[in-house]
Amino acid sequence: MTSTTVVDRPPTTTRRGDASRLPSLTGLRWIAALLVFGFHAGTMRIIAEPGHQAVVGEIFTLGLSGVQFFFILSGFVLVWSARVGDSRRRFWRRRLAKIYPNHLVMWALAMLAALWFADPINPVAALENLFLLQAWDPRPGYFYSVNNVSWSLSCELFFYLCLPLALPLVRRAKPWMLWAVVIAVPLLILALWPGQLLVPEQSRWWFTQIFPLVRSLEFWMGVAAAELMLRGRWRGPRLPMATVIFVATWVAASEWIRAELWAALLSVAYVLVIAAAADADVHGRRSPLRSRLMVWLGEVSFAFYLVHVFAIMTILRLTGNWGTGLPGWWGVPAVIGFLLLTLALAALLHRYVEQPMMRRLAPSRTGAHPPPAADPAQQSAEASAPQPAGPPRQRAPGDEPSTASCRNQHR
């Protein structure tokens, strides 16, 4: 293998099929984005009436874990969609073409809003945010700078840089090693609670919630799960049972389980539902996640995630309700209105920025080098050999703008 190749050949236990995408995972992207929106709808105090505010807070207490969902999903789909003969440069170019145009537009809008409201601008923080380096800076006011949700893109960029370097090792890993990653990640997440005591108190939130090295644990969990499924070695429940486990874990965590256990438990629930959704697509089983509406919502979910906090904050500031919320019953329809408005803005950003810039900036599919032709005798021998039961390799959701198929984010 040359130094610039992501992977020379697919794993020998993987059999390609006719399916070219995983639409159910695209639908899952919308679920993750909606969880984050609900969390911010509660914490940004759109609703002033305490009783109504308490209901939103109760439902979306764990909504911030939607980013954890994005990170696991990102690792899964990127390994699933890794192209034979693809180079590291082409991989990095595709990922930058996917995330950076939307980020740049939102960065510019947030900077203009800061000027409009005469907010103080920290030039160092603004530059860190522009180049997606802010998640590495533990100082308050830096990692949540400008369009503050873009911290997760800073983490995703780190994941993208690492994956092509690690993928050859992932392809050669023994199944037990991959299972060790899947099992160890929740335990490591749990260990962060006592581990954060080694970090200065003012940096503990950054260390556990922002630091890219720490957040990469979830990404690698998705990577290992996808590789196991590609080899036909994944063992997990089907989508209906995985959904029940997800909902039960969510309810139990929000009602009865201590906060330090939330992230570890949810990581298990998320990887189970992601793998089950992928398995449903591969085997043609029923999945409401791949309905036309859910797929479209998943396609615009990245833009939705980047827009939602900026849109809510800007409108509340313009109307004089920032920090106080809307009184009486106005708060509830306001949340619904913000959801619909953000969705409309996200659709515009997706249609007029994300898609055209992907077409312009991403390398063409024809540029990838095909794998070398196998010897005819070897082909004959392989054709007569028993075929493994592993699923076909898929294209990642959102990897090509022309398909229905997402940050960590995400991501």
DSSP state letters, 159-199 = HHHHHHHHHHHHHHS-HHHHHHHHHHHHHHHHHHHHHGGGS
Which stretch of 60-64, 92-96, 216-220, 239-243 has the lowest confidence by average pLDDT?
60-64
| Max avg pLDDT among 4-8, 84-88, 148-152 | 148-152
- How far is it, in rounded angstroms, from Cα 243 to Cα 279? 13
- Calculate mean pLDDT across residues 380-387: 37
The average pLDDT across 87-103 equals 94
Instruction: Answer whether residue 331 is part of any domain.
Output: yes
What is the dihedral sign for C-alpha 232, 33, 44, 127? Answer: positive
In a domain, residue 387? The reply is no
Counting every residue, how long is the chain?
A: 411
Sign for the pseudo-dihedral over CA of 322, 312, 65, 47? positive
Q: Which residues of 121-139 are buried (b: 16+ CB within 10 A; e: fewer)?
A: ebeebbebbbebbbbbbbe
**242 assigned to some structural domain:** yes
- 227 by Cβ neighbours in 10 Å (0-12 / 13-18 / 19+) ranks as buried
The predicted structure's pLDDT at residue 365: 59
pLDDT-based confidence at residue 13 (cuts at 50, 70, 90): very low
The boundaries of the domain holding residue 51 are 37-363
pLDDT at position 192 is 92
Least confident of 135-139, 171-175, 377-381: 377-381
Assess if residue 286 is contained within a domain: yes
Q: What is the dihedral of CA 96, 396, 369, 373, to 10 degrees?
A: 160
Residues pairing with 87 in the sheet: 5
Q: pLDDT class for 366, splitting at 50, 70, 90?
A: low
Phi/psi for 206 (5° steps) reads: -60, -45
CA dist., res. 265 & res. 189, Å (int):
9
pLDDT band at 378 (very low <50, low <70, confident <90, very high): very low
For residues 22 and 80, give the distance between their C-alpha atoms in angstroms, rounded to a whole number: 10
Asked whether residue 174 is assigned to any structural domain, the reply reads: yes
Q: What percent of the chain has pLDDT over 90?
A: 65
26 — pLDDT class (breaks 50, 70, 90): very high
pLDDT of amino acid 1: 40
Tell me which of 107-116, 191-200, 232-241, 385-394 is least confident.
Answer: 385-394
For residue 122, the model assigns a pLDDT of 94
Tell me: the pLDDT tens digits for 188-207?
999 998 999 999 999 999 99
User: Is there a domain that residue 21 lies in?
Assistant: no
Q: Which residue has the tokens 């021998």?
A: 381
For residue 208, what are its two tokens?
């556990």
Predicted confidence at residue 399, as pLDDT, reads 40
* Domains identified in the chain, total number: 1
Yes or no: say if 78 and 350 are a contact pair by the CB < 8 Å rule.
Answer: no
108 pLDDT higher than 80 = yes
pLDDT over threshold 80, residue 97:
yes
Asked whether residue 1 is assigned to any structural domain, the reply reads no
Residue 376, pLDDT above cutoff 50:
no
| pLDDT > 70? residue 318 | yes
**Tokens read off for 370:** 């095909």
pLDDT higher than threshold 70 for residue 389: no
Mean pLDDT of the chain: 84
Per-residue confidence band for 44, with pLDDT thresholds at 50, 70 and 90: confident
- Domain for residue 132, yes or no? yes
Bigger pLDDT: 83 or 108?
108
Percent of the chain with pLDDT over 70: 83
